[in-house]
A and B are shown apart, each in its own frame.
Chain A
C-alpha cells in the first residue's frame, strides 16, 4: 500500500509543474503590465520602465519563468504589486482561515450528505422518495452565493440569530498562535472566543457546504442499493442479522468508499468556491485576497494563490486516496 501511495505522491510533482507553467503563461498572456500597476498613477514612463527593469519584466519570458519557479520553490512568491508586501506573508495570514472554513463546510456537507443519503435509501420505492429527490435537486441548484444571501436574510436579519460579518464579536480580541483561529482560541484557553468564532463560521460554512451535500446523498444511496444486491447481505439476512446492523455494519462499510472518493473531489471545488462566500461574509481568507488581487491585476498574488489551491487540492486528494486504501483491503496490495 505504501508503494502505491508513494507512486501517487510522485505523480503530484509533474502536475504541479504543469499547473505552475499554465498559470505563469496564462497571466503573461493577459494584457496587463505589472510594472505600470505597481506605480502610482502619477508615475512617468521613465519611472515605469525603471520598475519594469527592477521586476525583471524586460527579460525573456522563459527566463522570467525560471526565476519565478526558482523563487517559488524557495518559498519566495515575490511582493504584492498593490500592497507592496511579501505574498508569502499574505498567504500565511489568509490560508488558515480558508482551510478552517472549507473543513467546516465539508463537515456540514458530509453530515447532511451521509445522513440524507441514509434517509434517501430508507425512502426508496416509497411515496416520499419523489419529494426528497426534489428537495435535493433544489439544494443543489442554488449556487453558494445565493445560499449565502438567503442565510444572511433569514438568520442574520430576520431572526437576528447569527452574525454574518467577520470572525469575532466586536468586543473580542483575536489570539494569534498558529493563525488557525479555532485552534488558537483553545490553545489560549478562551472558550468564549472559540464559541464566538464558531458562531461566525456557521453561516458561511453552511452556505459553502450545503450545495455539496446532495451529490453525497445520491452517491451513498446508489452505492447502498448496489451493496444490497450483494450475496453477503442476503447471507446476513439468512443468519438472522437485524436490518439496522445489516445497513450500518455491512452495507454502509462498502458503500461509503465511493462516497469518500467523491468528497475528496468535492473538497477541491468547495475550496475554490470559497471566493464569493468569503467576500459576502467579510471572511478574511484567501478567497477574499484573490478577489482583490484579480480586481487589482496583482499577478504575484494570483499566481501564488492559484498554486496554493492546486497544492491543497492535490494534498486532499492524496489524503482521501490513502484513506480509501486503508478502508478497502482490495486496494492495499495494488
Chain B
C-alpha cells in the first residue's frame, strides 16, 4: 500500500509540474471550501486524539481554554483559572453567556460531565488518559468548579486547551446517548454541523447565537481530499479555496500563480530521531557521531525550501522549553573522531537500523534516506526499514524498534512537558530510550509544581538528552498552505486552519 501510494504521489507530482501556467479563479462569497487531508475519527470530540482534526472540532465545539495565534494560553469557556501553589487543585470560573447549539446553557456541570463523569461512566475516551491525575471536580456553582488531583497537575490548564478537550452537553448526551450524539453532535462552537459524509465532506453553518466573535463566513465546506496531487489540482482548478499539506515544491509553484498564495508555515511539530539506548546505539560516541553528522540546514533546504528551522533541542524556537543559546553543531569531522574513538570508520562502519514512515509527513522517507547517506560518509551503515505510523507505539512497547526512528511529534501547546516529558518518558510509548538514569529525572519532573522550576527543569532535561545522544532533534516541521488571494485567515503557530478566522476581500 505504501509503495503504491508513493507511486501515485510521484506520478501526481510529475503531472502537477505541467500545470504551472494555468490560471486559478478567485471569487468573493459568504462561504469557503477547505480542502483538508484527513477526516475526523468521529463526532465525539473527547474520544480520540487526532491532531489534524483539532481545528475542525474547534469550529463546532469549544475548549475550556484556548490559545492565541502566538500560542499563549487565553480564556475561552473558562474566564479565569487559579492553580493552587502545590498544583493539587485548579479553581475555575466559567462564562455565564455560553449556550449549546440546542439553546441549553453551558454550565460547570457540563464541564464536570465531560472531564470526569463520562470517564467514570465507562465511555472510552482518550481524554481519560490526559486527566489521569484527576480525582474529582467539585461544582461550586453553575459558573465555578474546582478540579482536584492525586498528584501535582501543573500542566492541567495546558491540557484544557489541547487534544480532545472540548466541552460536550451533559443533558443532551444523556438524552440521546453517545451514539445519538455522534450521529447529531452539538457543541458551543461558532459553527453547527449540518452535514457529514465520512471521508467525503463536512458542511458547517454559522452559529448566529455564538457567545464569541461572530464568524464572517456563513458556511464552511470541508472537502476531505487525502491525495496530495488531488489537493493541488483542487486548489488550482478553483474547486477549493484553501488547502494544506501539498508538497513543498507545489506550494511554491502554486504561490507564483496569479490569484493564489502559497505559504510554508513553521508549526509546533518537531521532526526528530527517536533513539534506543542499547544495541548499536549503546555507545554514546556512536550516538553523538550520528547526530553531529546530520546537516539539518541541508535537510531543510532540500525538503522544506529552507523554511523548516533546524533544531538543537526537542522544542520549537520561542517556546518555554527552548534555550536560545544552545546549539548542537553539524560537525562531520568531530563525528569521524568520535567514531574512531570507539573503533569505527568508513572502512569498519558501525551498523545500526533505522525506521521511517513513508508519507506520514512531507518527505519523511526521502529525508530518512538522506540521513542514511550522511551517516555512510562518516562510517555508520544504517539499514532503513519502512513502518506504518500506527505501528510505532506497538513496536516500541515490544522493544522492536531499531536503533533510530524518524519521528514527527505534534504539540500544539508548545509546553516543554509535552515535548521532552512525553518524548523521553520511559514509561510512555513515545520513547524508545529506556535508560533509568534520565528516565527517573523525567518522571520526577512531571510532579514539579512551581512553574519556574518546572520550565527550567525541562530545559535541563532536554539539554542533557541531546548532549548524551538520547534524543536527536532535527527540524521544526512546516505546514504548506495554498489559498486564493482574496481569502484571509488567521495564522496560528500550531497550524490550526479554522473557518471562524477566515474572510473574503
Taking a contact as CB atoms under 8 Å apart, the answer to whether B393 and A36 are in contact is yes
Q: Is B430 an interface residue (CB 8 A)?
A: yes
Q: Which of B35, B126, B240, B429 has the most CB of A within 10 A?
A: B429
Taking a contact as CB atoms under 8 Å apart, the answer to whether A83 and B41 are in contact is yes
Taking a contact as CB atoms under 8 Å apart, the answer to whether A166 and B227 are in contact is no
Q: A41-B428, A153-B15 are in contact. Are A294 and B1 (CB under 8 A)?
A: yes
Q: Which of A163, A282, A288, A292 has the most CB of B within 10 A?
A: A282
Complex Cα spacing A168 to B393, Å: 38
Q: How far, in Å, is B132 (CB) from chain A's closest CB?
A: 8
Taking a contact as CB atoms under 8 Å apart, the answer to whether A283 and B200 are in contact is yes
Stretch at the interface among B42-50, B59-67, B287-295, B365-373: B42-50
Taking a contact as CB atoms under 8 Å apart, the answer to whether B48 and A40 are in contact is yes
Q: Which of A41, A146, A292 has the most CB of B within 10 A?
A: A41
Taking a contact as CB atoms under 8 Å apart, the answer to whether A43 and B200 are in contact is no
User: Which interface class (under 10, 10 to 19, 20 to 34, 35 or more) fits A?
Assistant: 35 or more
Taking a contact as CB atoms under 8 Å apart, the answer to whether A156 and B239 are in contact is yes
Taking a contact as CB atoms under 8 Å apart, the answer to whether B394 and A276 are in contact is no
Complex Cα spacing A308 to B229, Å: 29
Q: Which of A36, A48, A296 has the most CB of B within 10 A?
A: A36
Residues of chain B contacted by A146 (CB below 8 angstroms)? 11
Residues of chain B contacted by A167 (CB below 8 angstroms)? 197, 200-201
Complex Cα spacing A285 to B230, Å: 17
Residues of chain A contacted by B8 (CB below 8 angstroms)? 145, 149, 276, 280
Taking a contact as CB atoms under 8 Å apart, the answer to whether B41 and A82 are in contact is yes
Q: A94-B198, A165-B230, A166-B200 are in contact. Are A282 and B224 (CB under 8 A)?
A: yes
CB proximity to B under 8 Å, residues A127-176 = 145-146, 149-150, 152-153, 156-158, 160, 163-168, 170, 173-174
Complex Cα spacing A234 to B391, Å: 67
Could you give, for residues 284-308 of chain A, a 1 whenever the CB lies within 8 Å of some chain B CB and a 0 otherwise? 1100110110111100000000000
Taking a contact as CB atoms under 8 Å apart, the answer to whether A280 and B1 are in contact is no
Residues of chain B contacted by A83 (CB below 8 angstroms)? 41-42, 48
Complex Cα spacing A153 to B7, Å: 17
Residues of chain B contacted by A170 (CB below 8 angstroms)? 31, 33, 203, 221, 223
Q: Is A239 an interface residue (CB 8 A)?
A: no
Taking a contact as CB atoms under 8 Å apart, the answer to whether A295 and B223 are in contact is no
Q: Is B225 an interface residue (CB 8 A)?
A: yes
Chain B's closest residue to A36 (CB) is B394
CB proximity to A under 8 Å, residues B130-144 = 130, 132
Complex Cα spacing A295 to B195, Å: 26
Taking a contact as CB atoms under 8 Å apart, the answer to whether B391 and A32 are in contact is yes
Q: Is chain B's interface secondary structure helix, strand, loop, or mixed overall?
A: mixed
What is the size, in residues, of chain B's interface with A at 8 Å between Cβ atoms? Answer: 62
Could you give, for residues 17-46 of chain B, a 1 whenever the CB lies within 8 Å of some chain A CB and a 0 otherwise? 011001000000001010100010110000
Residues of chain A contacted by B223 (CB below 8 angstroms)? 165-166, 170, 282
Complex Cα spacing A292 to B427, Å: 29
Q: A32-B391, A45-B397 are in contact. Are A84 and B199 (CB under 8 A)?
A: no
Taking a contact as CB atoms under 8 Å apart, the answer to whether A292 and B199 are in contact is yes
Residues of chain B contacted by A41 (CB below 8 angstroms)? 49, 393, 428-430
Residues of chain A contacted by B157 (CB below 8 angstroms)? none
Taking a contact as CB atoms under 8 Å apart, the answer to whether B233 and A164 are in contact is yes
Partner of B198, one of A93, A157, A163: A93
Complex Cα spacing A163 to B18, Å: 20
Complex Cα spacing A93 to B39, Å: 15
Taking a contact as CB atoms under 8 Å apart, the answer to whether A289 and B239 are in contact is no
Taking a contact as CB atoms under 8 Å apart, the answer to whether A295 and B237 are in contact is no
CB proximity to A under 8 Å, residues B99-125 = 124
Taking a contact as CB atoms under 8 Å apart, the answer to whether A149 and B201 are in contact is no
Complex Cα spacing A291 to B5, Å: 10
Q: Is A57 an interface residue (CB 8 A)?
A: no
Could you give, for residues 196-240 of chain B, a 1 whenever the CB lies within 8 Å of some chain A CB and a 0 otherwise? 011111010000000000000000010111110110011011111
Q: How far, in Å, is A178 (CB) from chain B's closest CB?
A: 15
Q: How far, in Å, is A52 (CB) from chain B's closest CB?
A: 12
Residues of chain B contacted by A150 (CB below 8 angstroms)? 15
Residues of chain A contacted by B203 (CB below 8 angstroms)? 170, 173
Taking a contact as CB atoms under 8 Å apart, the answer to whether A297 and B197 are in contact is no
Q: A42-B130, A282-B200 are in contact. Are A165 and B240 (CB under 8 A)?
A: yes
Taking a contact as CB atoms under 8 Å apart, the answer to whether A279 and B227 are in contact is yes
Q: How far, in Å, is A98 (CB) from chain B's closest CB?
A: 11
Taking a contact as CB atoms under 8 Å apart, the answer to whether A90 and B390 are in contact is no
Complex Cα spacing A269 to B200, Å: 24
Chain B's closest residue to A54 (CB) is B124
Taking a contact as CB atoms under 8 Å apart, the answer to whether A40 and B240 are in contact is no
Complex Cα spacing A93 to B389, Å: 26
Complex Cα spacing A93 to B33, Å: 23
Taking a contact as CB atoms under 8 Å apart, the answer to whether B233 and A153 are in contact is yes
Complex Cα spacing A36 to B35, Å: 31
Complex Cα spacing A284 to B226, Å: 11
Q: A32-B394, A282-B230 are in contact. Are A174 and B49 (CB under 8 A)?
A: no
Partner of B182, one of A42, A85, A168: A85
Residues of chain B contacted by A43 (CB below 8 angstroms)? 129, 429
Complex Cα spacing A276 to B237, Å: 21
Q: A149-B12, A165-B234, A280-B230 are in contact. Are A37 and B394 (CB under 8 A)?
A: yes
Residues of chain A contacted by B1 (CB below 8 angstroms)? 291, 294-295
Q: Is A44 an interface residue (CB 8 A)?
A: yes
Q: Is B4 an interface residue (CB 8 A)?
A: yes
Residues of chain B contacted by A282 (CB below 8 angstroms)? 199-200, 223-227, 230
- Could you list which residues of chain A lie within 8 angstroms of chain B, going by C-beta atoms? 31-33, 36-37, 40-45, 47-48, 82-85, 90, 93-94, 145-146, 149-150, 152-153, 156-158, 160, 163-168, 170, 173-174, 276, 279-285, 288-289, 291-292, 294-297
Known: A41-B429, A167-B201. 14 other contacts (CB 8 A): A36-B397, A40-B49, A43-B429, A93-B198, A94-B199, A158-B22, A167-B200, A168-B201, A170-B203, A170-B223, A284-B199, A284-B224, A288-B199, A292-B199
Write 24 A-B pairs (CB below 8 A) sorted by A numbering: A37-B390, A41-B49, A42-B429, A43-B429, A44-B427, A82-B48, A83-B41, A83-B48, A90-B198, A145-B8, A152-B230, A153-B18, A157-B19, A165-B223, A167-B200, A170-B203, A170-B221, A173-B194, A279-B226, A280-B229, A281-B230, A282-B227, A289-B199, A297-B388
Q: Which 10 A-B pairs have the closest CB atoms?
A: A284-B200, A40-B126, A42-B129, A288-B199, A284-B199, A170-B221, A157-B237, A282-B225, A36-B394, A280-B227
